[in-house]
Amino acid sequence: MILKPREVPAELKTLRLLRPRMTLPDEQRYLYLEKGFKGEQQLDAWLEDLTTDCFVINDLLLNQDRNFFQIDKMLILQETIYLLESKYSKGDFFIDDDKWKTISGIEIQDPQLQLKRSETLLRKLLQQHRLNFSIESTLVFTHSEFYLYNAPPKLPAVFPNQIHRFLETLNRLESKMTYKHNKLAEKLLALHVHNNPHTQFPDYDYHELKKGIVCVSCRSFMTDKGVNWVCAKCGYEEDNKTAITRSIGEYKFLFPNRKITTNNIYDWCGMKSSKKKVNKILTNSFTRMGHANASYYID
């Protein structure tokens, strides 16, 4: 049972919405987050056939004595908590004297370090709350073009060609969720930190962003065709209500303190035609507050 589904991290969602409208100050940060999230989604897809009785918690951020640590995926089974850390690395790597290196010999950070840290901090947190469970941590390499030479047999890792066997092993485990497992899950979810202190939001200003409705498929700007919107790049089409309502949601996410008014949404969508389309959608889908020129809309 999935107790906490995976969501797009607020930082990544922000960067996705800003990228078509401005030059990001750190493009590499955006690409890093996209790669990480893609790996997590691949891990989710692989474990969709998990049938053993367990609790699944995704993207759990915890704080143990002011040390924050994040767990990509936690599986709570009858006797053991499994911590799974997805790695979307691509290319050939090898281990030389306990050091991880690219095939060209460049040393990289040992991906086990973060996982070991999370395991240690989680164990301390459980002990603090008198919750007695064993913990097993595993790296899951999710990119099909990843290969590791000289991998020791006891390396706590699952490679793409091993995922089916790993899943079969989990499904063969005898597991039944009871009161103590519910208590554990409820405590962990209650301790989840919603605002990640390591999030790096870029500075942006409404007036400096490019206006228009962005294609949900390829993130290019769409063209108003009267009854619908069409992306010139990929051909994706949306009717007025869907496109404008989606754009209102993006406006609200990026600018929670700006009022939703007909003029503001008309400007945000980069429209040149009548404002009646915007006003109709706001009137039918939102609650109007105030009167005349001072009116605005709320959910």
CB atoms inside a 10 Å sphere around CB 138 = 16
Q: Quick one: DSSP state of residue 239? A: E
Q: How far is CA 254 from CA 14, 17, 32, 267, in A?
A: 7, 8, 21, 15
User: 282-289: which pairs have CB atoms within 8 A and are 24 or more residues apart?
Assistant: 282/248, 285/245, 286/260
Q: Is the pLDDT of residue 274 over 90?
A: no
What pLDDT is stored for residue 224 in this prediction?
93
14-23 burial: b if 16+ Cβ within 10 Å, else e: bbbbbeebee
Q: Which of 268, 259, 248 is nearest to 289 (CA)?
A: 259
> What is the structure's pLDDT at 159?
96
Model confidence pLDDT, tens digit, residues 138-189 = 999 999 999 999 899 899 999 999 999 999 999 999 999 999 999 999 999 9
Inter-residue contact 194 to 177 (CB < 8 Å): no
Pairing of strands 134-141, 80-87: parallel
The whole-model pTM stands at 0.92
Using an 8 Å Cβ cutoff, are 106 and 163 in contact? no
Encoded tokens for 62 = 């915890």
- Can you say whether residue 127 is alpha, beta or left, with left for phi > 0 and alpha for psi between -120 and 50 degrees? alpha
What's the rounded mean pLDDT across residues 39-49? 96
Instruction: Please determine, for residue 195, whether its predicted confidence score (pLDDT) is greater than 90.
Output: no
pLDDT at 273: 83
What is the C-alpha to C-alpha distance for residues 17 and 296, in angstroms, rounded to an integer? 23
Listed residue (81, 78, 85, 83) closest to 172, CA to CA: 78
Tell me what pLDDT residue 287 has.
94
Tokens of 282: 């706001």
| The predicted structure's pLDDT at residue 165 | 96
Give dist(CA 252, CA 250) in Å, integer: 5
250: nearest Cα among 214, 294, 280, 295: 214
